[in-house]
Amino acid sequence: KDEYFRVSNGNLVHDEYVPFTDCLLGCKRTIKTIDGKERTIEIPELTSDNTRYTFDDVGMWGKPYTVFIKHELPSKLTKKQKDLLKELNETITND
């Protein structure tokens, strides 16, 4: 067992928890690979929860390594944060 990696259906998997604001705005994240190295992934703006990145060259058992992007929500919001989110919500269009 490992706190960073897990196995799902015989595939090596990592869940990368990213603040939802970074998923909205875009960011870069450094992830570990099973061989002890690191890779940087670029998360584009408006990245959906459970977006999958697959690396064919660093998996195990001849299967790819998969990283899932998981939206991380704050545990509480300040009044200012709520007001900013309400303001943002009024300007969003879902074309």
User: What pTM value is reported for the model?
Assistant: 0.85
Residue type, 84: L
Indicate whether 45 pLDDT > 70.
Answer: yes
Indicate whether 11 pLDDT > 80.
Answer: yes
Neighbour-count burial for 17-45, b at 16+ CB within 10 Å, e otherwise: ebeeebbeeebebebbbeeeeeeeeebee
Provide the 10 A C-beta neighbour count for residue 12.
21
Q: How far apart are CA 95 and CA 81, in angstroms?
A: 25
Confidence of residue 1 (pLDDT cuts 50, 70, 90): confident
